[in-house]
Amino acid sequence: MTLIVGLGNPEYKYKNNRHNVGFMVIDKLIDDHNTTHINKPSFKGELYKSKDILFLKPNTYMNLSGESVRAVSDYYKPERVIVIHDDLDLPFGTLRYKIGGGHGGHNGLRSIDAHIGKDYYRVRIGIGKPQMKSDVSNYVLSDFSKLQKDALNEIIEVSLKAIKGLINEELSTISSKYTLKAI
């Protein structure tokens, strides 16, 4: 079984924020698969299942994402966990993949690391940085620009192919096929 987690914040007002790009990808994956919604409050998130794949959108808000990932992981014992998240350290339009590593100040990853460790796959979607470091919180909680929104669909489509590949293929193969450089 594979658990695919998209990071984001659950309220509607965050729906199109940069920080919610993980949710955007999960929504598309759910649309593309024949899924069943699993309603179990202890999972602290929206969980969907399609055959041997689980799709999770934690409802704990970004900073506590690990609670939801841990609850689902403890119950289903997935062999592979894939986390899709925004990455300030990558320019907008960049797609990268890795296993483990540091959280880079990303509170969602910090929470997941604390709850299940660092041994999970990461789909890193570059959102760029604000001009002023003090604006990080406002930046990640703001919507993509019009120009970025136009490019976002293509970025999400490539990430979907990569995620589907990560279920069965080696990370190096996926990285060589689906890495994107900044737009």
Positions annotated as catalytic residues are: 19
123 three-state secondary structure = strand
Provide the 10 A C-beta neighbour count for residue 77.
9
> What gap in Å lies between CA 122 and CA 179, rounded to an integer?
12
Q: Write phi, then psi, for 128 (nearest 5 degrees).
A: 75, 180
40 three-state secondary structure = coil
Q: Which residues contact 151 (CB under 8 A, 6 or more apart)?
A: 92, 93, 183
> What gap in Å lies between CA 138 and CA 57, rounded to an integer?
22
User: Tokens 């919507």 belong to which residue?
Assistant: 143
> What gap in Å lies between CA 121 and CA 132, rounded to an integer?
30
Beta bridge partners of 55: 4, 48
